[in-house]
Every structure is written in C-alpha cells, then in structure tokens.
Structure 1
Amino acid sequence: MKFFILATLFGLSLAICSHKDCTSCASDSSCFWDNGAGECKWVLFQVLSARENIILQPLSCPASLPAFQYTDDFGRNTVFPFAMASNVDGVENVATCLTGNTKNAQVLKQYTVPCDMLGSNCSATLFYHPDANAVVLAFRGSKGTAQFVIEALDLLFKSSQTAPLYNGNVFKYFSNSIQLLWAAGLGNDLSAQIQSHPNSQLWVFGHSLGGALSTLAANAAVRSGIIAKDRVIVSTMGEPRTGDYTFASEVTENLPQAYRIVHYKDIVPKMALKVALSQTNAYHNNFEVWYNNDMSGPNFAVNDRADDGSGSNVDIIGDLDSHLNYFNTDMNSYGPGPCTQS
C-alpha cells in the first residue's frame, strides 16, 4: 500500500512538474527546481531535498557570470578603500584615506543629509578615478548604534515602500535615504560627471547601509538613462536585503555586473530575515561573493544563485563581528588620522 501511494505521488509529480529547465520550473508555483538532482519536482516534495538545492523563484536559478569578473585584488584594493574613505567627513579628509589602487582618485564632492528621526546622517562621496577612467560613487555605512538599531527595526518589521527611483518595494530607511541624497544634488551631479567623461565606467561601492544605497543609486542611474548598464560595476560589502523580489529582479536586469561581498557569517546580509524559501518580500539580487573565511587571503566563491538556501545562506544564524571586519581589517579602526572610525 505504501509503495502504491509513493508511486502515485511520484507519478503526479512527473505529470505536474514536467519542466526541463530551472526558470520555467521555478515559475510554476506547483513546482520547485532541485538543483542537486537537476530536476523539476512537485512542491510538496521539498521535504525530501536538501535546503541548499531548492529553488522556488526564477531569479535564484543558476545564472551566467558577468563580463566583469570580480577579483580579490579589486575588492581588497579598490572597493574597500573607496568605501572606507566615504565614511570620513569632509572632502579634504576623504582624500587622505585613499590608498593603494585608489590614491590618484580625485574627490569631487560629498553629499550628507539627515536621514532618520534622530538626525543620523547618510552620506555619499563622488570621485573621478583617472587611472581607470571611472566615475566612482561610494556610500557611507551606518554610523553609531542608534542608526544601526533604527535600520534593524525597519528591517525587522519589513516596512517598505515604492518610489520613482526603482521598481518594486524597498525598505523605508533605504528608500527615504536615497531619495534625500538624490534630491540633494547627487543625481544631477552624477549625470554631469558621466557626460563629462563619456567613455567612462561608473563604479559604485558601499558597506552595510552604504551597500543598500549603492545598489539603489546604481539602479537609479541606469533606470533614468544616465548611463548604460554595461558600463556600471557595483560591489557592496555586508549589504542587507534592500527590497523585495520585484526590486531584486529589476536590479539584476539593470546591474548585470553587481557583486555582493559577504564575509563568513555576516549577520546583516541575512536581514531582513528570510525564514521560508518561498518568501519574496525581502530578496537579494545576483551575484554573491562569499568569503567563507577570515578574508586574510584571496579565497572566495561566487554564487550564481540570487537568494535561496545556497551560498552564505547555508548559515541561517549570523554574527556581527563578521560584519565589522572585512578584508581582515577592523573597520572601526581603519587607517591613519581622520580615516579611523569611532
């Protein structure tokens, strides 16, 4: 009798979920793609598959990697110093924090606005990097416990909204912050710089809150026609889930050369919390760069699946220490003089 029931269920699964590829399978709400088996299966059979093999949304199907290939050298010696320099107040101080591959970059302007009820600031710095012919935009991360807690509460309660700069829903703290910065002249000045350097690329970097704002700004630049998507490179560190599945899908389309760097068990990329794999109100875009180590060396893995149970998501529980240490550096005590954060 048990054999008959199992055979019947298996037959139903084959009949209902006969899709031969991940995208069409994951687009069918009755099915899921078992990436380990390379098969489309009935959604009720999820309990028989390992969590990291279950794909329920097309965006998390394995995707071809971008033309621009992420390297540890780029992350360590370009992304990291630009992002850290953006944490400093004042254009003259920002310049002192540019090291390694970034030392010849020109600091053009800094934009700082109060972005929550306590008056915490959000900030972005615009650069031109002549060595790479790149306009660079770097966003400051969270500063202080109060700002971090307000963001965390926003993510905890999953308060989100729509806005003209993006499609889908984005968590309110990030949405309000990017709109304030964009209106403070960032959008117009970015457009002017791209026009002044017509063959340049646009590089956008940030850590934590700065990562979310980086993704929003780069997406807005492509969406508004400031620059073509194939000229944009985004690399974030410790970026939280910024918006919902619709937003993540737009970002993946508009920013095909975007990388989310994650250190070990960093807790922030796991926020807003995504308990069920079927959940779509909080979703990452492609592609994740996971350093499942202390980041002292160049070893990492690029995950070609957006936001399911694979990659760094195999660890459901995260830690804050991983968030505060990237590229084997304590980000709260980075650099000389004004570069040191408190």
Structure 2
Amino acid sequence: MLKGIIAGLLALALLSAPAFAADEATMRAAKKEGKVTWYSSITLNIAQHICNNFNKKKMGVQCVLHRDGSGKLYRRYLQERKGGIYVADVVHTSNLGHFLNLKAKKIITPYKPAGTDNFNAKFVTKDNYWTILRAGVLMPFYNTKKISAKDAPKTYKDFLDPKWKGKIVHSHPSYSGFVTNGMINIVNKFGWDYYKAMAKQKPKIVQSAAGGIPLVARGEAWLGAGTTSYSLLKLIEKGEPLKPIVPPTGLALVTSPNGVFTKAPNPNAARVFTDYLFSIETMQLLADYFLYVGNPDVKYPKALPPLNKINLMAIGGAELKKKNKPTRKMFKKLFGV
C-alpha cells in the first residue's frame, strides 16, 4: 500500500516537473540565485508573455525583463561592462553582427539549450554560442482604407513614386536590429540609390521596427517601408485595415539569436531560462505570434506562409557585422535623424 502511494507521488512529481528543467544540481543552484535578467528586443507584449509564463511555473526563479531595441541593448551592456556592472544574464536581439562581436570578445559563452537536437539546422550553431530563437521577414505594408489593392505598390521601387511623398513611415536602423538587417539586404539588391530616393520621399521616422504599424493603421501614414512580419500579421488577424506587400524580388529574412553572457550574475538561472525559451511551450507561443522557429513540431497559423514559399533575401553574419555601422551612419546622413 505504502509503496503504491510513494510510486504515485513520484509519478505525479515527474508529470508536474517542467519538461525543460535542467539537471537537479543546476536547478538547485538556480533557485539559490532566485532570478534571471533577460535583455530582449522582441516586442514588449511577446517578451512579457514569455516572462509571465515562466514565472507562473513557480520554480523559485523570477524572470526580470528589460526590453529595448537591439542597438540600445547592445550599447547598454557594453557600457555596463565597461563600468564593471553585470546585470543581464541572457540576451536576445535581431542583430547577428552584434553577436559575432560578443563572441569574438568572449562576452557570451557557449550553451546548447535542452531539446534542440532536432531543430532546423538554420536555427542552431555548431559552437553553441547562440541559438536562433525566432525568425521573421521585413515586410512592407499599406492601409487598405487609404490605398486600393490596384494602386498599392507592388515592388520596392514603387515606393519611390512621387505620389507617396510624405505618406510613408520608415523605422530607424540605429534602434532596430531587425531594420538594420533588412536594410543591408535591400542595399545589396538595389544599392544606396534606393535609399537616397527614399529620403526624398520625406518619410516619417520611428524608432522600432513595429513602430510604424499604428501610424499606418490610423491613417497618419499610408505605407510602411518595412516592419516585423509577425507584428503586422497579428494585427491583421485582429482586424486592422492593413495588408502586406510581397515584392517579387524578395523579402529580407531576419534571424534573431539568443545567448548567455559569460559573466551572467545568475549563470544557472540563465541556463534554466534558456531551456525554457527553446521548450515546445515557448516555441509554440512564438509560432502563434506568426514567428518562424527551429522546432519542427510546432503548428503555424494558416495566414503565415511557409518560409520555403517566400523568395528570401538573406546574407551571412560576417557581412552583416561588416555593414552594420556603415548602414546606420548612412541612414543618419540621408534622412537627417
């Protein structure tokens, strides 16, 4: 009788334990640390959703979120490091060039998240310095109440038609790694003449990659030069008068890495949280938000086109790293902001 009760309790404990849980020693150490600080550039509502879900597990580790743009997070960490201040444990942004710098300086440390053995090869790295948490495309779009499908731009160069002057919104690459990545791909395709002409269109400039969506939805701007596909598709699902534009020359693919800092003040909690980020629970949550993930077992919304059905523009990390700073500098010069 007693053996049966004990066996039942053990089975219940196993069922209630998180599927992503690290080994017992790491879990004990993580509980002693008590928290994990996540520097993340994913949109605030998604970042909060992830942190809240993690905290609901009540594992004795609290997720503390600091959400900002990729560029600001990168500069913030380097400034803190310069002053000998170490706050962040885990970092996630859309600027692969920054991660190459962090790796070269040994600011991030290798860690392979649990459960990633069967991930799409494009979402993992051989040396495990980072794993791609999510991917999306930089997607142009328009307000369907202001522009008919017939009149809407079909190509990138259609945005340069004088009739759209003052009616476009563009995000700033110094703030958004997503936009920096997208711009580098577009410049590779069309050269800087494209952005020189875009500057003459006098677009409204916003910070974040998703910052232009509300302006277009309200009709303050009619067109968005490019935004995070996941934010756009989610709002279209909710009924906003918006429609994506898919130019035949392709959309810029943006992959967003996640890594653990070498001097994380809570290294064990960092590993536990990273395992959670790549668990099927979080992977499915991200897919529900119209993001592409490495786990092959998630189910995507019907409105999200498979990556293999999209003509993609994508360049390597080394080129992204090389062109990061010059792209931001040229944007400031051309647009005056």
Query: When the two structures are superposed, what TM-score results if normalisation uses the length of structure 1?
Result: 0.26
Q: Which has the higher contact order (CA 8 A, sep 6+)?
A: 2
More strand by share: 1
Query: When the two structures are superposed, what TM-score results if normalisation uses the length of structure 2?
Result: 0.26
